[in-house]
């Protein structure tokens, strides 16, 4: 077992464990913070899989902005009445479905890709990714920018429309 594998396994355990804590924690803010840990560990995994540009984007977008957004949302929607529980009644069905989905997917992966190795020959640097993005993928990229713009305007309209009334 190489060092890379060892680090990956550690990061994987951290990611899965913090994700579990995030989804089961009773404190809403704790959930958001545990999610930061998860996303950070996943970003580490990206680095180990020779995708350093994606890893930075993950850290910037997710850990930087999305989680901040979530924490703002949590604060803005502070409930006046104390909620009874943070999980609903069908938690056991949800847990069963989650376990079944995870095991099913994992079994499929094991069945399909057992014994395959990642060589890591092509490293996803900013340069190479940018090359690909602005040559081969430029049209989807432009469309995506339009989608983002639309979502941005939509978010502003939706969140403002209630306060105007």
Is residue 104 within the footprint of another protein (CB under 8 A)?
yes
For 32-47, give the DSSP string. HHHHHHHHHHHHHHHH
Is residue 133 within the footprint of another protein (CB under 8 A)?
yes
Report how many residues bind another protein under the rule CB under 8 A.
Answer: 97
Binding another protein (rule: CB under 8 A), the pick from 10, 37, 109, 139 is: 109
In the complex, minimum distance from the CB of residue 139 to another protein, in angstroms, rounded to a whole number: 12
The footprint of another protein on residues 20-39 (CB under 8 A) is 20, 22-23, 28, 31-32, 35, 38-39
Binding another protein (rule: CB under 8 A), the pick from 40, 137, 139, 142 is: 137
Binding another protein (rule: CB under 8 A), the pick from 10, 33, 63, 136 is: 136
Is residue 142 within the footprint of another protein (CB under 8 A)?
no
Provide the phi-psi class of 102: left if phi over 0, else alpha when psi is between -120 and 50, else beta.
Answer: alpha
Is residue 126 within the footprint of another protein (CB under 8 A)?
no
Site map 64..103 versus another protein, x via CB under 8 A:
-xx--xx--xx-xx-xx--x-xxxxxxx-xxx-xxxxxxx
Map tokens 């969140």 to a residue. Answer: 159
Measured distance CA(51)–CA(121) in Å, rounded: 11
Phi, psi of 76 (to 5 degrees): -70, -30
Is residue 113 within the footprint of another protein (CB under 8 A)?
yes
Q: In sequence order, which residues have a C-beta less than 8 Å from that of residue 74 and are 6 or more positions away?
A: 28, 29, 32
Measured distance CA(147)–CA(135) in Å, rounded: 20
């Amino acid at each position: 077992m190489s060092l890379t594998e060892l680090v990956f396994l550690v990061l994987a355990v951290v990611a899965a464990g913090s994700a579990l804590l995030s989804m089961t924690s009773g404190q809403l803010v704790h959930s958001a913070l545990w999610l930061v840990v998860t996303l950070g560990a996943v970003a580490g995994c990206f680095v180990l899989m020779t995708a350093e540009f994606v890893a930075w984007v993950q850290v910037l977008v997710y850990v930087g902005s999305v989680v901040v957004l979530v924490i703002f949302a949590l604060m803005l929607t502070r409930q006046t009445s104390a909620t009874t529980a943070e999980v609903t009644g069908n938690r056991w069905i949800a847990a069963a479905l989650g376990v079944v989905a995870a095991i099913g997917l994992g079994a499929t992966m094991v069945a399909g890709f057992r014994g395959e190795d990642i060589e890591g020959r092509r490293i996803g640097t900013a340069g190479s990714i940018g090359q690909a993005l602005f040559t081969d993928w430029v049209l989807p990229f432009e469309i995506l920018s339009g989608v983002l713009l639309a979502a941005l305007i939509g978010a502003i309209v939706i969140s403002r429309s209630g306060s105007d009334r």
